DNA sequence: GTAGGGTTAG
């Protein structure tokens, strides 16, 4: 036997290379990455293919994401009447799934005479990963009906597709019943499900109950807070976990940067940036994108652009482009928005998506270019950009036209929306009706808005203000009664300013800041200078029916005026003052800030809910249009 | 052979 092998080997060595290769077994060819030769051998072997040959071939195909080769192997099985085991069929399924042939994968699953937990789970996870939630849930339901026992892999996958709270809770019940609730993969998916349903307390509880934590579960809870806008809480949790020894990865940093952008904490953002560079984390587009967004939301646009320009072209995703476009849009730099959008289209490397068009349209809106916005919208309908307008795009146009005083056109757009307009859309139209005193449309819109959002005090106040301007006092009174009946809430306005590593918050008519007395005294003092320089309190910004004196007191109590005054006290001559506000700035505060910048020779940078206002020498970058 | 957290908009 030994001699024979030696002889064989000698004879093979004398053959040309190609003949030698065909005689190697398929598993060996595959492990050397010689897939094409292995396939050739498959045809030669015909009916003599065995389990290990198929297994090796499919394994190599998965690694190479080789769809055509996979199809050849599959066809060969059918042609030679080979009956693959559940294991091999599952491999086929996974391969089709990874090549984005979900229908083919599903067909393989359907045709399996016997399915096991891995085959079910592979299908569910692929549907989940590609965003096909309802398909994932359907397969999961089918699995349960077929008495397939889900495991921790299954639950971690299926929870990603549970966007509705009731479905998520049902699955949670099942997880507890089968004792998978302390599994760390299942736990992070579970807490994420609760967070996405807006249930932060439940998410927190899942996290607290986990017997072991890893970087993913820690990141998930930080992200949960950040995504719900609870930025300070997100940072607190991050800090605590850091002190407990968590080692953040690039996803953690991306989430932390989101929270920092929300609070406009530029210095902290820079620290994270330095940290990332020092740790020499590999280049991840996600992280670069968060950095671009952080710098632009903190008002440092040129830095954001530098990061964008330094990204290798092949690494830039639509998110990179969008983050940059949104940055320009929020700064009212419509020329830059349109230029970058043109560059994106010329490059053709990354396709514009729905967020891209939203950023471009809102750029036109902020930059007072309604006709350009409208023609881009028409282009979307004509199919010029490969993105069809959805509700959000219609909403953006409604906002743009309303702001420009083209109320009737805005109203026509509301009627043309493909689905019911959201409260946000109607709210912006109602606001526009008030500014441009359009009573008929305003009444209709306001009534509908109150039906949808009866708890929002702002809606009643604006509509009643509109009635008042038309002298319809009876309607004003009715509305007031209605408002008192429905327990109403309004998001309280607050502004903040950073000074020496501390965030100073001010609320309307602040009673919490330790230096409020000092701030109020200073405000009274500067008011004299301000009035001399032409500041006239704009009483129309007070939406309550009170006397003139009280109106002025209410105006002075607005949080951004308090924050500006604090900035003046706390910083030296000529230093820029950066203030941030959670709501939109009102006309009176905007006017105040402009005159403030002129009188005290300070550059004021004010970021409100929607955009930036860079004010120098009494002139604002928004052109008094926001 | 099957798994979780992710950046942009509103």
Q: Is residue A442 in some structural domain?
A: no
| Protein residue minimizing CA–C1' distance to B4 | A185
Q: Give the dihedral of Cα atoms A242, A245, A250, A251; nearest 10 deg.
A: -70
In this structure, is the CB of residue A112 within 7 Å of any atom belonging to strand B?
no
In a domain, A528, yes or no: yes
A464 touches strand B (CB under 7 A): no
SS3 A25: coil
Spell out which residues of A between 227 and 266 contact strand B, using CB within 7 Å: 227, 249-252, 254-255, 257-258, 261
Q: Mean of the pLDDT values across residues A294-315?
A: 95
Backbone angles phi, psi at A581, to 5 degrees: -135, 145
Distance of CA A412 to the CA centre of its chain: 30
pLDDT in tens, A558-586: 899 999 999 999 999 999 999 999 888 88
Q: What is the pLDDT of residues A152-203, one digit of tens each?
A: 999 999 999 999 899 999 999 999 999 999 999 999 999 999 999 999 999 9
Q: A546 CA, B8 C1': separation in Å? A: 43
Across A395-402, average pLDDT: 93
Q: Domain for residue A594, yes or no?
A: yes
In window 389-428 of A, residues with CB < 7 A from nucleic chain B are: 392, 395-396, 424
Q: Which bases of strand B sit closer than 7 A to a protein CB?
A: 1-10
Residue A188 (CA) to nucleotide B4 (C1'), in angstroms, measures 5
Specify if A46 maps to a domain.
yes
Q: Regarding predicted confidence, which is higher, A420 or A110?
A: A110
Give the residue whose CA sits closest to B5 at C1'.
A220
* Residue A21 confidence (pLDDT) above 60: no
Domain ends where: A120, A145, A170? A145
Q: List the single range of A13-22, A130-139, A244-253, A465-474 with lowest mean pLDDT.
A: A13-22
Determine whether A342 is exposed, middle or buried from the number of CB atoms within 10 Å of its CB (0-12, 13-18, 19+): exposed
A192 CB inside 7 Å of strand B: yes
Return the pLDDT at A9: 38
- If one compares A203 and A626, the residue with the highest pLDDT of the two is A203
| Domain ranges, residue A84 | 21-145
- Please, what is the angle between helix A439-452 and helix A423-435, to 10°? 150
The pLDDT, as a whole number, for residue A377 is 96
Is A96 within a domain? yes
Is a pLDDT exceeding 50 seen at residue A20? Answer: no
pLDDT higher than threshold 90 for residue A16? no
Place of tokens 């009274």: A524
Band (A4; pLDDT cuts 50, 70, 90): very low
Quick one: pLDDT at residue A492? 79
A327: Cβ under 7 Å from strand B?
no
Provide, in whole angstroms, the distance separating residue A399's CA from nucleotide B8's C1'.
20
Helix (H) or strand (E) holding A502: strand A502-507
Of A159-173, A425-439, A468-482, A591-605, the poorest mean pLDDT is in A468-482
Domain stops at, among A145, A177, A204:
A145
Mean pLDDT, chain A, integer: 90
Nearest nucleotide relative to A219: CA against C1': B5
Q: Is the CB of A86 under 7 A from strand B?
A: yes
Q: Which of residues 118-147 of A touch strand B (CB under 7 A)?
A: 118-119, 121-122, 125-126, 128-129
Nucleotide nearest to A320 (CA to C1'): B8
Counted domains in chain A: 2
Neighbours of A445 (CB within 10 A): 30
Of the two residues A57 and A10, the one the predictor is more confident about is A57
Residue A62 in domain: yes
Q: Is there a domain that residue A134 lies in?
A: yes
Final residue before a domain boundary, out of A126, A145, A164: A145
Q: Report DSSP state, residue A616.
A: E
Q: For chain A, what percent of residues have pLDDT higher than 70?
A: 95
Tell the residue number behind the tokens 């860079």, with chain if given.
A614
Check pLDDT > 50 for residue A227: yes
Inform me whether the pLDDT recorded for A105 exceeds 70.
yes
- Mean pLDDT along residues A515-535: 91
Helices marked H in A244-369: 250-263, 266-278, 285-297, 301-310, 318-330, 334-347, 354-366
Mean pLDDT of A342-370: 95
**A2, part of any domain:** no
Q: What is the pLDDT of residue A218?
A: 97
**Mean pLDDT along residues A523-529:** 91
pLDDT digits (tens, 9 = 90+) for A37-89: 999 999 999 999 999 999 999 999 988 888 999 999 999 999 999 999 999 99
What pLDDT is stored for residue A425 in this prediction?
86
The gap between A343 CA and B4 C1' (Å) is: 37
Strand B contacts (CB < 7 A) among A residues 339-368?
353-355, 358-359, 362
The string of DSSP codes covering A398-428 is HHHHHHTT-HHHHHHHHHH-SSPPPHHHHHH
What pLDDT was estimated at residue A12? 36
- Report the pLDDT value the prediction gives residue A316, as an integer from 0 to 100: 95
Most confident of A76-80, A452-456, A491-495: A76-80
Angstrom distance (rounded) from CA A599 to CA A529: 8
Name the nucleotide with the smallest C1'–CA separation from A321: B8
């Amino acid at each position: 036997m030994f001699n024979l092998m030696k002889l064989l080997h000698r004879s093979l060595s004398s053959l040309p290379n190609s003949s030698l290769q065909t005689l190697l077994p398929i598993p060996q060819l595959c492990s050397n990455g010689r897939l094409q030769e292995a396939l050739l051998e498959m045809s030669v072997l015909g009916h003599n293919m065995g389990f290990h040959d198929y297994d090796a071939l499919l394994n190599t195909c998965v690694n190479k994401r080789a769809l055509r080769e996979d199809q050849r192997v599959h066809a060969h099985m059918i042609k030679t009447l080979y009956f693959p085991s559940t294991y091999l069929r599952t491999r086929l399924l996974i391969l089709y799934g990874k090549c984005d042939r979900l229908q083919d994968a599903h067909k393989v699953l359907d045709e399996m005479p016997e399915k096991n937990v891995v085959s079910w789970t592979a299908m569910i996870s692929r549907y989940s990963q590609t965003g096909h939630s309802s398909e994932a849930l359907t397969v999961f339901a089918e699995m349960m009906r077929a008495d397939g026992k889900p495991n921790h892999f299954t639950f971690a996958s299926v929870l990603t597709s549970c966007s509705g709270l009731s479905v998520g809770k049902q699955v949670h019940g099942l997880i507890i019943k089968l004792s998978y609730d302390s599994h760390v993969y299942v736990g992070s998916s579970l807490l994420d499900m609760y967070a996405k349903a807006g249930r932060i307390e439940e998410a927190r509880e899942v996290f607290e109950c986990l017997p072991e934590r890893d970087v993913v579960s820690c990141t998930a809870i930080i992200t949960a807070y950040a995504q719900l806008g609870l930025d300070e809480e997100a940072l607190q949790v991050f800090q605590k976990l850091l002190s407990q020894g968590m080692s953040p990865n690039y996803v953690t940093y991306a989430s932390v940067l989101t929270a920092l952008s929300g609070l406009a904490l530029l210095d902290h953002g820079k620290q994270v940036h330095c940290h990332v560079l020092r740790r020499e984390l590999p280049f991840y587009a996600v992280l670069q994108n968060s950095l671009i967004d952080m710098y632009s939301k903190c008002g440092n646009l040129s830095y954001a652009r530098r990061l964008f320009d330094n990204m290798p072209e092949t690494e830039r995703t639509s998110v990179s482009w969008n983050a940059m476009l949104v940055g320009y849009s929020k700064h009212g730099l419509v020329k830059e928005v349109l230029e970058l959008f043109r560059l994106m289209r010329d490059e053709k490397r990354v396709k514009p998506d729905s967020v891209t068009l939203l950023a471009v349209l809102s750029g036109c809106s902020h930059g007072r270019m309604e006709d350009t916005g409208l023609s881009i919208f028409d282009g979307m309908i004509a199919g010029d950009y490969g993105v069809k307008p959805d509700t959000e795009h219609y909403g953006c146009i409604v906002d743009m036209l309303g702001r420009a005083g083209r109320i009737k056109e805005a109203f026509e757009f509301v009627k043309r929306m493909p689905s019911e307009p959201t409260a946000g859309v109607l709210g912006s139209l109602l606001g526009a009706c008030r500014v441009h005193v359009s009573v008929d449309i305003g009444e209709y819109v306001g009534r509908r808005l109150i039906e949808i959002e009866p708890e929002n005090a702002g809606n009643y106040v604006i509509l009643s203000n509109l009635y008042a301007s038309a002298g319809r006092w009876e309607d004003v009174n009715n509305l007031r009664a209605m408002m008192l009946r429905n327990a109403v809430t309004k998001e309280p306005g607050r502004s903040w300013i950073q000074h020496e590593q501390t965030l100073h918050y001010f609320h309307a008519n602040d009673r919490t800041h330790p230096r409020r007395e000092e701030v109020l005294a200073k405000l009274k003092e500067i008011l004299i200078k301000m009035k001399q320089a032409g500041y006239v309190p704009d009483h129309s910004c007070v939406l309550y029916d009170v006397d003139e004196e009280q109106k002025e007191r209410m105006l002075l109590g607005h949080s951004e005026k308090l924050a500006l005054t604090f900035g003046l006290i706390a910083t030296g001559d000529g230093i820029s003052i950066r203030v941030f506000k959670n709501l939109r700035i009102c006309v009176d505060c905007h006017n105040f800030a402009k005159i403030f910048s002129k009188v005290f020779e300070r550059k004021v940078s004010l970021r409100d809910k929607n955009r930036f206002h860079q004010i120098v020498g009494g002139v604002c970058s928004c052109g008094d249009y926001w």
